[in-house]
Amino acid sequence: MIDDKESVGLVETKYFEFAKDSPLELECGRTLGPITLAYETYGGLSPAKDNAILVLHALSGDAHAAGYSSADEEKPSGWWDNMIGPGKGLDTNKYFIICSNIIGGCKGSTGPSSIDPATGKQYGLTFPVVTIPDMVKAQKMLIDHLGIDRLLCVIGGSMGGMQVLQWVISYPEMVRLAIPIATTARLSPQAIAFDEVGRAAIMGDPGWMGGDYYGKANPERGLSIARMIGHITYLSDKSMHQKFARKLQDKIEYDYDFVTDFQVESYLRYKGESFVKRFDANSYLYISKAMDYFDLAQGYDSLKDTFEGITAKFLVISFSSDWLFPPYQSKEIVSALRQNNTEAVYTEIHSDYGHDAFLLEVEQLTRLISNFLMHGQRKT
Amino acid sequence: MIDDKESVGLVETKYFEFAKDSPLELECGRTLGPITLAYETYGGLSPAKDNAILVLHALSGDAHAAGYSSADEEKPSGWWDNMIGPGKGLDTNKYFIICSNIIGGCKGSTGPSSIDPATGKQYGLTFPVVTIPDMVKAQKMLIDHLGIDRLLCVIGGSMGGMQVLQWVISYPEMVRLAIPIATTARLSPQAIAFDEVGRAAIMGDPGWMGGDYYGKANPERGLSIARMIGHITYLSDKSMHQKFARKLQDKIEYDYDFVTDFQVESYLRYKGESFVKRFDANSYLYISKAMDYFDLAQGYDSLKDTFEGITAKFLVISFSSDWLFPPYQSKEIVSALRQNNTEAVYTEIHSDYGHDAFLLEVEQLTRLISNFLMHGQRKT
């Protein structure tokens, strides 16, 4: 029995099935169907259906953004529970919050580990390459299904922020407010490089077997290497100094061997090892590739042109120590919006947490987001 | 026939053998012997033996710092040929330059791929863990062997800079001038983290076989992953934008598959694949571990105390976009030196090249280093 007034309480993941008869057309030219989207909702939809907020998750996220998924849990297991709930930044007393797992993932939505109805076997690498616009296209089907014509807001950090930007471009008339956090309009070559090393580690793992490892074991070594690399990019030099410095793990002197010595090593190993238990290696390949391909200005002359005619109001947030999606990349977005006279509030939050700050700087995010929603709701 | 007046010409790597009867005592408590050090020299030793400069190399470097190693080469193959030669920053018309390969390496000096005389087989992981002080201790034997009581200068970048600092601490009376470039007094947790992921990739490669792969194949997959990670840290976000941007490799549209799409991916793959042909995976483990263990202030109360009584004059150089060994780490060294009233010139070179700048910013380095040597030689 959950008694937590600060939380949305026990929630159930729902599943929306579509694209059975007419499969979804993807950017790559192939189609996908049938499709299942796992999603959760918190709060109530207003009679006018004008209070819906779509939350978009990052690489390893899922539909379970808030509350408890089981009555046995001692604390809320939703990945953004500190932001979503009664009286929180995304206030469930006021707003109807939707969070859906992306296609290509492995948390209930259709992805490479799903059964291909054409063969009766997991897709593996026969799954089509999906892009951020494809993910958004699938989410749009869900929003239609929920009977919502216009979203009050789309919000998300990291890859979630990419989806926010894409929503505004793909369905401009459906978005009133947009909050891209710690994100970019196009992935930088440095970030592509880190993704590529992660993929090389997975695909170089003999256990990966060309992606056809289902029923055997997840290629854990490669996937854990990929995750370790990712984790370094989510922290900052400074936060690592503060968190680990050069402290040794369970010892006071060097061992002079190749077992881990430093706390930072143990931390990364642990993060890598726990990740492989909850994430599918092929999904990692597909999602990281979708991020690499993301370039909002592709097909346009400039980022400015991309935003032409956009009516959504923006709150763009970056973090000073985020070197994966550095503030200058958020400023590029803001600059392109303002060249179109689109209303865009920009805030760079001073934080030592690096990219992870979008999950940790709760107090500042809460204040910024709740104010923006309140004013934006009145004005738009 | 080499006709290159700007180069030291054809050079031969020499080999110094020692520690046959009394093995070298290492920091880890074990001993190593016999030891071979591969080294090269350029220019002539003055009758007073007061013009010797010891060049110290980085992780993947070797003794061949300048000139041609074969008459067939079309251009000089030495890794720092743009700095070492007649009229260059390290002017072989004036100075006697020595460069020795480190112990633990795989370029002619004793390392894990050397034959252990006790077993007649390669050491592999039975090779003792060596540290930066151990490397310097071995170099000191070489300098003694060459009959040099005092070095005019010790100079090096990256891990070479760590050895510079260690030389001054271990043998203060033997060093007149010290030039640590793009380095640190202690490896940061972020850099340790990257090293650890590289080691995890090597040790997770089934071909590594506990380090006992000699006579079979180098564990290429793991080693190439480690090298790819390294390369990202040697460049900067900006230099990657300038060099690669989001340009595709040999195509104009996405392939929507998992073969490399972007130039930056092809570049990294190429760097990884070429590295495994010339470098031993176990050496990578040992050398990266030596860097992780490096902490000049260990055993002292502070970095200031570490430098107490040091008489060498310093030129400390950092690069603005180096995020592996950021300028603040060089400033820490300078600050600790100045607290001891040690003469320390500090220059942060503005460069977009990242950590690699120490091999690329030739013009500025040449001017700084040649001036410092000229003045320093007169004054000390």
Q: What is the pLDDT of residues B24-74, one digit of tens each?
A: 999 999 999 999 999 999 999 999 999 999 999 999 999 999 999 999 999
- Please list the residues that pair with B153 across neighbouring strands: B53, B177
The total of other beta-carbon atoms located within 10 Å of residue A140's CB is 16
**A338: in domain:** yes
> Are A98 and A110 within one domain?
yes
> Are A244 and A146 within one domain?
no
Q: What is the pLDDT of residues A129-138, one digit of tens each?
A: 999 999 999 9
**Are the beta carbons of B55 and B63 closer than 8 angstroms?**
no
Amino acid at B316: V
Query: In whole angstroms, what separates CA A125 from the centre of its chain?
Result: 22
> Closest Cα to residue B271, out of B231, B305, B321?
B231
Average pLDDT, chain B: 96
**Are the beta carbons of A200 and B226 closer than 8 angstroms?**
no
* pLDDT on residue A376: 86
Q: What is the pLDDT of residues A237-263, one digit of tens each?
A: 999 999 999 999 988 899 999 988 899
User: Which of A206, A254, A285 minimises the CB distance to B293?
Assistant: A254
Strands A151-157 and A52-56, bridge-based pairing: parallel
**A252: in domain:** yes
Name chain B contacts of A269, Cβ cutoff 8 Å. Answer: 196, 200
User: Which of A204, A261, A295 minimises the CB distance to B221?
Assistant: A204
Q: Is the ipTM of this complex over 0.90?
A: yes
> Closest Cα to residue A343, out of A310, A366, A378?
A310
**A4: in domain:** no
Enter the tokens of residue A199. Answer: 């993929």
> Are A104 and A80 within one domain?
yes
* pLDDT on residue A379: 62
Q: Is there a contact between A235 and B190 if contact means CB atoms under 8 Å apart?
A: yes
pLDDT band, residue B252 (cuts 50/70/90): confident
**pLDDT at residue A380 above 60?**
no
User: Which of A188, A189, A244 minimises the CB distance to B189?
Assistant: A244
Across the range B76-95, mean pLDDT stands at 98
Place of tokens 């009664």: A86
Place of tokens 């506990």: B210
Q: Report which DSSP code applies to A59.
A: T
Enter the tokens of residue B374. Answer: 């000229």
Rounded to whole angstroms, the Cα distance separating B124 from B22 reads 22
As for how many domains chain A has, the answer is: 2
* pLDDT on residue B377: 80
Strands A31-32 and B313-319, bridge-based pairing: unpaired
Q: CA-based angle A327:A332:A335, to the nearest 5?
A: 120
Exactly one of B100, B109, B158, B283 is catalytic; name it: B158
> Are A317 and A352 within one domain?
yes
Q: What is the pLDDT of residues A188-213, one digit of tens each?
A: 999 999 999 999 999 999 999 999 99
Rounded to whole angstroms, the Cα distance separating A88 from A76 reads 14
> Are B56 and B153 within one domain?
yes
**B8: in domain:** no
Average pLDDT, chain A: 96
Tell me the CATH number at A159. 3.40.50.1820
Whether pTM > 0.95 for this model: the answer is: yes
Question: Whole domain around residue A196: which residue ranges?
Answer: 191-290
Enter the tokens of residue B115. Answer: 């034959």
> Are B107 and B129 within one domain?
yes
**A329: in domain:** yes
Strands B96-100 and B115-116, bridge-based pairing: unpaired
Q: For residue B93, give how far its alpha carbon lies from the nearest alpha carbon of chain A (Å).
A: 42
> Are B200 and B256 within one domain?
yes
Share of chain A above pLDDT 90, in %: 95
Exactly one of B62, B195, B261, B322 is catalytic; name it: B322
Is residue B375 among the annotated active site residues? no
- Please list the residues that pair with B351 across neighbouring strands: none
pLDDT band, residue B380 (cuts 50/70/90): low
Rounded to whole angstroms, the Cα distance separating A88 from A86 reads 6
Q: Tally A–B CB contacts below 8 A.
A: 148
**pLDDT at residue B317 above 80?**
yes
- Domain boundary (A290, A306, A330) is at A290
* pLDDT on residue B10: 96
Rounded to whole angstroms, the Cα distance separating B90 from B179 reads 12
Rounded to whole angstroms, the Cα distance separating B25 from B128 reads 11
* pLDDT on residue B280: 98
Is residue A158 among the annotated active site residues? yes
- Mutation target among B134, B197, B329 for the A interface, most CBs of A within 10 A: B197
> Are A341 and A355 within one domain?
yes
Q: Which residue of B has its CA nearest to A129?
A: B256
Rounded to whole angstroms, the Cα distance separating B251 from B261 reads 8
Render A304-363 in DSSP notation, one character per residue. HHHTTT---EEEEEEETT-SSS-HHHHHHHHHHHHHTT--EEEEEE--SSGGGHHHH-HH
**pLDDT at residue A1 above 80?**
no
* Helix, strand, or coil (residue B272): helix
Across the range B292-308, mean pLDDT stands at 96
Q: Is there a contact between B256 and A190 if contact means CB atoms under 8 Å apart?
A: no
> Are B107 and B236 within one domain?
no
Tell me the CATH number at B236. 1.10.1740.110
**What is the 3 state secondary structure string of A252-319?**
CCCCCCCCCCEHHHHHHHHHHHHHHHHCCHHHHHHHHHHHHHCECCCCCCCHHHHCCCCCCEEEEEEE
- Domain boundary (B271, B290, B309) is at B290
Amino acid at A226: A
**pLDDT at residue A377 above 90?**
no
- Please list the residues that pair with B347 across neighbouring strands: B317
* pLDDT on residue A260: 80
Residue B17's H or E segment, with its range, is strand B14-18
Q: For residue B227, give how far its alpha carbon lies from the nearest alpha carbon of chain A (Å).
A: 10
> Are A107 and A26 within one domain?
yes
**B4: in domain:** no
Is residue B322 among the annotated active site residues? yes
Q: CA-based angle B101:B337:B379, to the nearest 5?
A: 80
- Domain boundary (B266, B290, B314) is at B290
Rounded to whole angstroms, the Cα distance separating B137 from B133 reads 6
* Helix, strand, or coil (residue A15): strand
Share of chain B above pLDDT 70, in %: 99
**B1: in domain:** no
Name chain B contacts of A240, Cβ cutoff 8 Å. Answer: 188-190, 193
Q: CA-based angle B271:B275:B278, to the nearest 5?
A: 155
pLDDT band, residue B135 (cuts 50/70/90): very high
Enter the tokens of residue A290. Answer: 């979708």
> Are B101 and B47 within one domain?
yes
Q: For residue A161, give how far its alpha carbon lies from the nearest alpha carbon of chain B (Å).
A: 19
Residue A99's H or E segment, with its range, is strand A96-100
Across the range A136-165, mean pLDDT stands at 98
Name chain A contacts of B184, Cβ cutoff 8 Å. Answer: none
Across the range A284-290, mean pLDDT stands at 98
**Are the beta carbons of A229 and A223 closer than 8 angstroms?**
no
> Are A22 and A135 within one domain?
yes
**B104: in domain:** yes
**Are the beta carbons of B280 and B106 closer than 8 angstroms?**
yes
> Closest Cα to residue A42, out of A77, A101, A89, A93?
A93
